[in-house]
Chain A
Amino acid sequence: QKEVEQDPGPLSVPEGAIVSLNCTYSNSAFQYFMWYRQYSRKGPELLMYTYSSGNKEDGRFTAQVDKSSKYISLFIRDSQPSDSATYLCAMSAVTGRRALTFGSGTRLQVQP
């Protein structure tokens, strides 16, 4: 079993839809949770960063962490064609090398 599971998609939605992206994990030591967006042939861009459980909102993006269920989500409101990309969840434990463990990424396509 992988430490972090993420549905690879592709996920296709119409413009304006609410998108829900999710990851589950098995390592209870993970405390820091991040979402990255990666366009083709580019480096990942940090979208959201949360510590422990709870919600965080930034513009059209909302990140949720439920540590009791080992489940994290990223919601995108009013999705735009420019949101079409691969979304990677990543997480890290408090101790150790601070290395990130990534999900496999979900490819999102927003249709105009």
Chain B
Amino acid sequence: GAVVSQHPSRVICKSGTSVKIECRSLDFQATTMFWYRQFPKKSLMLMATSNEGSKATYEQGVEKDKFLINHASLTLSTLTVTSAHPEDSSFYICSASAASSYEQYFGPGTRLTVT
């Protein structure tokens, strides 16, 4: 299957700082990438959908100015958590999908801890 990587796998940051998470599709061109958040023992919550070269579409209740998403190329999307607070601590997972495909391939996730 297709391979998606995420970096970093885990990060600890202080409250008020910003953190950038990268999501890369390694062996296919991802026209669409998705960002999810997952709380312990819960399912995935879609945060936003991004298409290469376009602005991201955010789900209701997700703050656009807090969670900045950039999808500048067909293999890279970034999520920046700005002015992080402890309540932003979570497991963030990206997925990628090729053109005209409904299959999504997930990255390994990034565990963010804000102290």
B94 to chain A, nearest CB (A): 8
Could you say which of B46, B49, B97, B108 contacts A43, with CB atoms under 8 Å apart? B108
Task: Please indicate the chain A residues that have their CB under 8 angstroms from the CB of B1 in the complex.
Answer: 45-46
Tell me what chain B mostly uses at the interface: helix, strand, loop, or mixed: strand
Task: Knowing A43-B93, A97-B49, A98-B32 are in contact, say whether A49-B103 is a contact too (CB < 8 A).
Answer: yes
Contact A103 B43 (CB under 8 A): yes
Instruction: Please list 30 pairs of residues, one from A and one from B, whose beta carbons are closer than 8 Å in the complex, sorted by A's number.
Output: A34-B102, A34-B103, A34-B104, A36-B106, A41-B111, A42-B109, A43-B4, A43-B6, A43-B95, A43-B109, A44-B44, A44-B93, A44-B106, A45-B1, A46-B1, A46-B103, A46-B105, A49-B102, A88-B43, A88-B44, A97-B49, A98-B32, A98-B49, A98-B97, A99-B34, A99-B49, A100-B46, A100-B104, A103-B43, A105-B43
B113 to chain A, nearest CB (A): 13
| A104 at the binding interface (Cβ < 8 Å) | yes
A45 vs B34: C-alpha distance when bound (angstroms)? 15
Q: Which residues of A24-67 have CB atoms within 8 Å of chain B's CB atoms?
A: 32, 34, 36, 41-46, 49
B100 to chain A, nearest CB (A): 9
Contact B108 A42 (CB under 8 A): yes
Task: Please indicate the chain A residues that have their CB under 8 angstroms from the CB of B49 in the complex.
Answer: 97-99
Task: Please indicate the chain B residues that have their CB under 8 angstroms from the CB of A88 in the complex.
Answer: 43-44
Task: Knowing A41-B109, A43-B109 are in contact, say whether A98-B102 is a contact too (CB < 8 A).
Answer: yes
- Identity of the chain A residue whose Cβ is nearest the Cβ of B105 in the assembled complex: A46
